[in-house]
Structure 1
Amino acid sequence: MKRLALSAAALALVLPAALPAQAPADPVFTPAAMRAHVEFLADDLLQGRDTGSEGHEIAARYVASQFDGLGLTPTGDADGPGGGWLQRISFQKTERAQTPATLTVTGPAGSKRFTHGGDVLIGMNAAEPHLDVTAPLVFVGYGLENQRLGLDDYAGLDVRGKIVVTLRGYPKGLPSEEGAHLSATKAMIAEKHGAIGMLAIGTLQSMKARPWARMVQFADEPDFTWVSPEGKPFDQAPGIRAGASLDDPAAQAIFAGAPHSIAAIRKQADRKGGKPRGFALKTSVRIQSDSVSQRVTSPNVVAILPGSDPVLKDQYVVLSAHLDHIGVSPVKPGEPVDKDRINNGALDNGAGIATMLEVARAMAQSPSKPRRSIIFLASTGEEKGLLGADYFARHPTVPIDRIVGNVDLDMPLLLYPFTDVVAFGADHSTLGPIVAQAVAPMGVTLSPDPMPQETIFVRSDHYMFVKQGVPAVFLATGFANGGEKAWGDFLSGNYHHPGDDMRQPIDWQAGARFAEANYRITRAMADADAPPRWFAGDFFGDLFAPQAEKAAK
C-alpha cells in the first residue's frame, strides 16, 4: 500500500507537467520534407523567382497547392484567379532609359558634371520620366527629427524649394533600431520642410559598413513600388522629386566654399552623439534622369487555419515568409556565356517558405487546433523593398486590428546544427519572452541581436506589420555552435549569388529543428490567454500603437 501510494503521488506530480506538452510537441518534422520543398522552389526551372516572373508565379501556385492540400482556407482575392489563394498586386516597375543620368554641380569652383554609376548614384522618378531639376543646396546634418530622442536637424534652416544634403545613417550612440527607422523617414521629413530633393553622403561609419563599390553593384536595378487598388503608385514622399548618393569627388564638389569641410563634418559625426549642424551651401545642382515605367503583377499567397476558440478565433497570428528572390543576374563583360547566373535562393528564402509550409502542415494535422486563427503569408516583392508584406499590412484580407502578432521567417541559415535563435525585435514586445519559453524545451536558447549595426529589425517583412502597430519579430538561426562563422561566410559569399542553391552543404536536420521551433512559437502565440503586447514605454509601441494595451517589461 505504501509503495502504491507513493507511485500515485509521483504520478500526480508528473501529469500536470506532461499534459500541456502532448498536443503541441507531438508533430514530427523531417529533414526529407524540408528538403523536398526547397528542391522545388530552388530549381533552375523557376529562374530565381523574381517578382513578376513566370518562375515566381509557378512558386506561388506550388505554395497554394500545398495550402489547398492541407485543407486551409483561401484568403487572397475572393474573385481573382488562383482559387482565392492569391492576393494579386500591381507593381510599377521603373527602369533607366538609354540616356545616362547626370548630376551637375555649380558653385565657386565652376561647374562639374558627374554621371550615374561613377561618383554619383542618381535615383529615378516614375512621376517625371524626363526629370530635370535645378536647385540650391542646404546641408542638414543627418536630416532627422524626433523630439523623444532629441533630434532637430532642421532647426533654423530654410530648405523650401531646395535640395537637402544629408549624412547617411544616424548619430553614433543612438539605438540602432530606432536610428534605422528614423533614417528611413528622411525623405518624409525633408518633404515636410518643403525640400524638393535629397543628396546623401557617407560617414566614416556608413562607408565602412557599405562601401561605395558595393553600392555601385546595384546601380542599375529597377525601382518597384506597389500600386493601390485605385491605381495610384505608392510614394511615401512624392514631393521629393530628385535624389542621389554621392562618393567623395562629388561630395567635395558640392561643399566647395563651405564653412566646414567634409573631413571635419565626418570627424564630428564619428564621435558618440556627434550631430553636425546644418548650413546653406554655396553650390547648386542640376539633376537629369530619364526613365521608363511599366506595370507588372505578382501575388502574395495567403491562407488561414481557423482557430478553435469561439472568442479567440477572431484574432489572428501571422506566420510569414517571402517567396520571391532576385532572378537571373545579367551577363557581365568578359564572363563565359555558360556561367551559372540563376540566383536560386535556396536559403533566401526557399528555406523560410519550407519552414512555414511544414508548420502549416503540423498545425492542420494536429488533433488539437490552435485557439487563435493563423494566417500563413507567402509574400512577394521582399527583395524589392518589403513591398508584398507592406501591401498586405495596408490592405489585409482580415481587419488589421484583429492581427495580434507576426513572426517572419527570412533566410534561416541551415548550414550548421544551431543551438540558439535570434528574434530580431524581441526587446520591444512580449514576443521576446514567448519565443524564449517556446523553444526552451528543445534545448534552444534565445540570443540577443548579434549584429545590431545591420539594423535587421527594420529590414525584413515583419517590420511592415510593426508599422501598422502589430508586435512582430524576425526569427533566424543564431551565432552559437559555429553560427557566427557560417553567417559571415554566407553573407560574404553565396548571399544574393548563384551559389545559394542546392549544392550547398545544407543541414536538413537543422531545417526540421527550425520548423519545430517555429511550430512551438506559433502555437504559443495562438494558444495564450493574452495576445502579444508591446512593452510599456517602447519606442515602436508608442509610435505605432499608442492606444494599445501595454505590458510591463
Structure 2
Amino acid sequence: MSKNCIAEPLDARPYCPRKTPRVRLKLLVVFILAFAALAPGASVSSVRWLADVKYLSSDQLKGRGDGSPELDQAADYIAEQFRKAGLEPVGGGYFQPFGAVVGADLGTQNSLVLLGSPDRSYRLNQDFIPLTFSDSGDQTAPLAFVGYGITAPEYQYDDYAGIDVHGKAVIVLRHEPQEDDANSVFRGKETTRHAALVSKAINARNHGAVAMLLVNDPLNHSDDRLVSFGGIQGPTDLGLQVVHVKREVVEKWMDQISRSLRELQKTIDRDLSHQSFLLPSDLQVKMVTDVRHRQAALKNVVGYLPGSDPALRNQVIVLGAHYDHLGLGEYDSLAPGQVGQIHHGADDNASGTAGLMELARLFAGDEHQVRRSLLFIAFAGEELGLLGSAHYVEDPLLPLDRTIAMLNLDMIGRVNKNKLYVGGVGTSPGFRPLLEEENDGAGFQLDFSDSGYGASDHMSFNRKQVPVLFFFSGLHPDYHKPSDTWEKQRPEETARVLELVARVVGRLDAAEERPQWVAVRERRRSSTPAGDEEAGQGYGPYFGSIPDFGETAKGVKFADVREGSPAAKAGLLAGDILIQFDGKEVRNLYDFTYLLRAKNPDDEVPVVVLRGDKEVRAVVKLGRRE
C-alpha cells in the first residue's frame, strides 16, 4: 500500500483518496468523528492508572482470589470508580452475579485404616491427606501395587499390563521412571505429561480402580512430605478417591509381604520391567474421603455509557478486563514453594482493570463524545476458566446481536522493548489496517495474531461471533508468582497502550458500518503467545474443537468446531457435548485431554456426543499439529 492510500475503516481494501473525492470526504468525516471521540474532558493519566494498580495489587486485597472477601472489596472499588466516572448501572446495579466452584475444603470425616488384627488407623495431615480433586466416598478395597501408574504406549511402557485392578485401591509411585537419567525414553530428564497426578488418577480410574494411594518415590526424592491440600488442581468430578500417603506407612505394608518400595523402584528404573502385583487379599484399606467443593457467588462489574446518536446508540462496544487473580496461590501458582503467600497480580490483571477504569473516565468525560454506547465490564472467574465472560455471553445484559466489538485488556502493564501483542485482528476484515494506521501515532512494534481464541475473556465473545481485539504486553518471569508487584509496572508505556485502545474505540464508534465478524481459519500450532484453548495443545494429534469453559455439565461441550478440522469432517458441531472418546467415558476436559494425548495423528477414534437429547456416534480421523 502506498503512502497515499488509506485503508477504509472496517474494510480490508485499500482506497486512494486523491483518485476518489467522495471517498476522501467520507474518510475526512470518519477521522473528524474519531478525533472528536478522543477529545474528552479527561485524558489518560499514568499516575492515576498506577494508583489503581497499587490498590488492586496491595497486601490489603490479598491477591483477589475468586470467592474471597478481598475480591468483593475489589468489585466494590471498581463499581465506585465507574460511578464516579459517570457510568450508569445496568439492570438496576453495577454487578452481574453468578455462581462458581472456587476451591475445596477438607470435611470432618476423612480417615484411612489398614484392616487387620488389630486394625491400624492413620492420622490426617500427618500420615495421609486427600488430594483436592479426590471424590468424596467410603471404600473398603484390597490393594495392588502398580509402579508409577503410567500407561504410555509411545514409550512401550504400561504399569497396568497383565494386572486386573477392578475394585482395587492402587498404590502408585509419584513422578516417572528413570527421571534422573538423561537417556531415559521418558524424554531424558524432562518431565512428561505422565508424571502429572491428575493423569495418574484418570489412568487408574480408566483401569477400574476405585481409589489411588500416592506415595513419594524413594530413589530420587528423599523428602517424604505430604502435598498441601489445595496445592494441586484437577477436576471436580474425577470418579476416584485419591489420597497421598507417607512412604513410611506404605513401606510397613510392604514389609508384611517381604517387599520394598526402594527395590521395586530400582528394578523398574533399571530396565523398565513390569513390577505390578496384587497384594494378599487380607491386606485391605478402608478409606473415607470428605472433600467439599466450595461454591461462591462471584460478580462481574458492569458500567454503561449511553451513546449520543439516536440511530446508533443501540449498538454497543464492550471493553473488558478480568479483575480476579490467584489469592494466596492455592491454584495455578507457578511458584509452588510460595503457596500461601500473596500473589499480588499487578500485571495479571490489575493492569488491565486499572486501564479499564481509566478508559471509563476518559470516555465519560464528555457525555456527547460517543455515538454508539460503551459497556465496561470487569470480569471475575477468569482464572478459573473464563467463567465471568462465559456467563455474560450466555446471559448478556445488552443483546449480543447489537454488540459490535469486544476489546480485552489483559496484562498490559509491562511493555518490553516497545512490543505490544494484539490478538483477534483476523476476526473482522478492517481490524489490521485500522490498528496499523492508529499505531502511527503510538509507535509500538505490533505483533499481530488473527486468532480470536486464547486464554482470556475475548474468547467467550469470539465464539458468539462478536469481533474481538486482545491487547497484551507479554509474559514475564513474575507471571502467576507473588513477585508480580506494582513496582515492576511501566506506567508511561501503559498510558500509550490505553491511548491506542482509545483511538481504536474512537474509530469503531465513528465508522458508518459496524465491523463484520469472520471466522478465522486457525493454524494448528502447538502454542500461541496467549496460550492454546484446545485440549491436547502442544502434542501431535489434532482434533479441532474449542471447549466451552463456562459449561459445567458432565462431558465436554464444544463452543465451536474449527472449519475443516478432523472434528468438523466427522460431522461434529458447536453445541455438541462429548461424552465418550475411544470407548472411554469423558466426564470433563481433563479426561478429554488425557485420552487425546494418548493418540497419534491419523488414528481413527470412535466418539459419542450428545446433540440435544440424542446420542450421535462418529469416527474422527485425527490430524497432525503443524
Which TM-score band (shorter chain)?
A: 0.5 to 0.7
The letter of the residue matching 1:240 is: G
Q: Distance in 1 between matches of 2:466 and 2:246?
A: 38
Q: Matched residues in 1 for 2:100 and 2:519: separation?
A: 33
Answer whether contact 2:65 2:328 (CA < 8 A) is retained. Answer: yes
Displacement of 1:341 after TM fit?
A: 6.0
Aligned mate of 2:132, from 119, 124, 136: 124
- 1:65 is aligned to 2:80: yes
Deviations 1:515-551 (A, max 9, x none): 223334555677543135333787968644558999x
Identical positions, percent: 22
Q: CA RMSD in A?
A: 6.4
Name the CA shift for 1:159/1:126 in 2 (closer, same or farther; >3 Å). closer
Does the 8 Å CA contact 2:44/2:498 hold for their aligned counterparts? yes
Pairing 1:87–2:97 present: yes
Q: Equivalent residue of 1:238, what SS?
A: coil
Query: Secondary structure at 2:498's aligned position in 1?
Result: helix
Q: Secondary structure in 2 aligned to 1:534?
A: coil
CA distance in 1: counterparts of 2:262 and 2:463, whole angstroms: 36
Aligned to 1:430: 427
Q: Determine which of 488, 492, 503 is the counterpart of 1:509.
A: 492
Task: Give the match for residue 336 of structure 2.
Answer: none
Tell whether the 8 Å contact from 2:98 to 2:298 is kept in structure 1 after alignment. Answer: yes
In structure 1, distance between residues paired with 2:64 and 2:76: 12
Contact persistence 2:112–2:285 (CA under 8 A): no
Match of 1:477 in 2: 473
**Structure 2: any 5+ residue segments left out of the alignment?**
1-16, 115-119, 155-159, 177-184, 188-192, 251-259, 331-339, 525-532, 535-543, 547-557, 565-626
- Cα pair 1:52 1:297 within 8 Å, conserved: yes
Could you tell me which residue of structure 2 aligns to residue 320 of structure 1? 321
Superposition TM-score, scaled by structure 2 size: 0.52
CA contact (8 A) 1:134 1:285 kept: yes
Q: 1:92 to 1:509 in 2, by over 3 A?
A: closer
Q: State the secondary structure of the residue aligned to 2:359.
A: helix
Query: Where does residue 301 of structure 1 map in the other structure?
Result: 301
Q: Deviations over 1:149-207 (max 9, x none)?
A: xxxxx9x99998788999999x999xxxxx9xxx99999999899886789999xxxxx
User: 3-state DSSP class of the match of 1:475?
Assistant: strand
Structure of greater relative contact order (alpha carbons < 8 Å, 6+ residues apart): 1
SS in structure 1 opposite 2:517?
Answer: coil
Determine helix, strand or coil for the equivalent of 1:74: coil
Distance 1:95 1:523, change over 3 A: farther
Question: How far apart, in 1, do the equivalents of 2:245 and 2:126 lie?
Answer: 10
- What letter is aligned with 2:493? A
Work out whether residues 131 and 229 of structure 2, in 8 Å CA contact, stay in contact via their aligned partners in 1: no
2-side partners of 1:10 and 1:510: how far apart? 38
User: Given residue 78 of structure 2, which amino acid in structure 1 is its aligned partner?
Assistant: V
Gapped regions of structure 1 (runs ≥ 5): 1-7, 105-110, 145-153, 174-178, 203-210, 225-234, 266-277, 330-339, 450-455, 480-486
Instruction: Give 1:376's aligned amino acid.
Output: F
Instruction: After TM superposition, give the deviation of residue 60 of structure 1 in Å.
Output: 1.1
Shift of 1:507: 2.3
Letter in 1 for 2:370: K
Alignment of 1:8-87 (within 5 A): 20-24=30-34, 26-27=38-39, 28-75=43-90, 78=91, 83-87=93-97
Q: Where in structure 2 are the equivalents of 1:332-481 lying within 5 Å?
A: 343-365=343-365, 367-369=368-370, 371=372, 374-384=374-384, 386-398=386-398, 406-414=406-414, 418-423=417-422, 426=424, 429-430=426-427, 434=431, 437-438=434-435, 440-441=439-440, 442-447=442-447, 457-458=454-455, 460-463=456-459, 474-478=470-474
Q: Are 1:318 and 1:375, in contact at CA under 8 Å, matched by a contact in 2?
A: yes
SS at 1:326's partner residue? Answer: coil
Secondary structure at the residue paired with 1:301?
strand
8 Å contact from structure 1 (residues 94, 223) kept in 2: no
Letter in 2 for 1:320: A
- Offset, 1:11: 13
1:341-374 Cα offsets, whole Å, 9 max, x none, are 6554433322111111122333444655364x54
DSSP 3-state at the match of 1:349: helix
Distance 2:381 2:28 in 1: 43
- Match of 1:124, as an amino acid? T
* 1:512 Cα offset (Å): 0.7
Residue aligning to 2:552: none
TM-score for both structures, normalised by structure 1: 0.57
- Counterpart position of 1:176: none
Within 2, Cα distance between the matches of 1:201 and 1:430? 49
Q: Provide the C-alpha distance between the structure 1 equivalents of 2:493 and 2:44, rounded to a whole number of angstroms.
A: 10
| Structure 2 residue identity aligned to 1:58 | Q
Letter in 2 for 1:95: D
Equivalent residue runs for 1:222-233 within 5 Å: none
| C-alpha distance in 2 between matches for 1:218 and 1:317 | 42
